[in-house]
Chains A and B, each alone.
Chain A
């Protein structure tokens, strides 16, 4: 039993959202690089903001892809995005200062191959498939890279596989206590995969409005940032993590309130403890 997926028309054109998302997240990722010039990774939260910008773009892409009637395919779109993205992000992270550029190019290649396979081998024949999966892979890669950067303060691979723990007063470097070695990357993967698909999955229907869907995408991004900020207390200096936590909480409260206001605007009625009102046409 599939539910017909309908999307609202109008709003900001998709290409505009894409350019804002791509350029914004790219700049935010490079801002985290300034951490190397600071005493502590105070700018780590920009990684999270890069993820938020990418998620807003990704939600709009999923809306375009899924308007071809992929009802139950909405969550799978999120999974394939992050699945292709995590590969690109981890490989890209090994290239030092070039990380964001290499990650984006590699993700585009992986996404295009996935799209071509889906259209020509699996024969799904959806016109927007190749371009959408390319975009989604880039979004997934930026999300993983951004949130991982937020957790450990750097987008370089060495920082992601080196953690420290204190044993008998000595600080020892280990792989086991790092973002990748500790498995935190798995948490980041799931946070991104659910956040990217939730906005459209939650708002689909004939009354879908772009501003409400994208606001929800930003809300999901900030919510993911809150949890990553809490995890980052295990990796980076307390004040840097605290700053990241405050930025995430403020962003989340703002977007959540805005989302509730937009839902109130779009809802048929906003009732508290009232019975069912049968529609005028009758059931």
Chain B
């Protein structure tokens, strides 16, 4: 019994850390216009809309975070193997992984922008200087929290995988959660505030992203404020729930039927969430209705 209570405590802590990681991850990727919003940021100058938005495309979010977290975990593992205290090892590992992330971000922005010279898109190095550091700060929070979750699983819950492998698995999960949950807030709405709400992205509006802010010109720090309010928390809830339910079902139901209990509960949790998702989708369609004509869309 004591073991289960201890396990539940670790589960709650890991879920909370994962929520923080998810929120930071989505804010980081949105400031860099990574993932789903990237195609429009990349397309805009080709359509004649020169912009001052950070464009750091480093693969998709899941592979990129697979690397950052696996690297943070691998370095932390190596430092622990050198008899360094785990907390210090995780901090050092995450800091070095963030250094790699920052370097990748700068080379991605320079490469993409220099290749768009034909469309008169200049390289704004103030963007590079101010926004890379902000993404690095958010990435540190995301990597540190996720590596800590992995260390808790490995050390406290006795997960058989070594730390770097857990880092790879949970890094990909973190990137996928942020990419799927948080990005549409920025990619589908924020970039297209100049279109009618719910209009989607008509072909004629491709690349016509919002380039001017409340005052002056919009840069990616403005998108960071927006993401921290909507997309970030949504991703945080998503990733937090994933980590929490994953560990909860294992800790509580592992002893049932030689491990099959945890698998059955996992399937049941997925089914419950599928029903909830379907209900919300149908409710939202009924309440807000499909987009038909501009006249009706004003309500």
Contacts and interface: CB of A to CB of B under 8 A. Distances in A.
A91 B202 CA distance: 51
Contact of B75 (A79, A199, A230): A230
B58 A283 contact: no
Contact of A231 (B42, B48, B74, B123): B74
Interface in B49-108: 49-52, 57-60, 63-64, 66-67, 70-71, 73-75, 77-79, 81-82, 96-97, 100, 103-104, 107-108
Given A187-B164, A197-B59, A268-B117, A277 B39 contact: no
B4 interface: no
A276 B50 contact: yes
Given A190-B71, A259-B110, A281-B48, A268 B121 contact: yes
Interface residues of B, number: 66
A277 B50 contact: yes
Contacts of A69: none
A280 interface: yes
A171 interface: no
Given A183-B161, A186-B74, A276-B52, A234 B81 contact: yes
Contacts, number: 207
A267 B49 contact: no
Contacts of B155: none
User: Main SS of chain B's interface residues?
Assistant: helix
Interface string A238-280: 0000000000000000001001101110111111111111111
B117 A202 contact: no
A273 B128 CA distance: 10
Contact of A263 (B43, B51, B78, B123): B123
Interface in A66-91: 72, 75, 78-79
A193 B70 CA distance: 12
Contacts of A256: 103, 107
Contacts of A282: 48
B52 A279 contact: no
Question: Quick one: which of B51, B52, B110 has the most chain A CB within 10 A?
Answer: B110
A1 B64 CA distance: 21
Contacts of A273: 124, 126
A275 B217 contact: yes
A110 interface: no
Contacts of B161: 183
A237 interface: no
6 contacts: A183-B166, A198-B108, A203-B111, A203-B112, A266-B114, A267-B122
Interface of B: 39-40, 42-43, 47-52, 57-60, 63-64, 66-67, 70-71, 73-75, 77-79, 81-82, 96-97, 100, 103-104, 107-108, 110-126, 161-168, 201, 206, 208, 211, 216-217
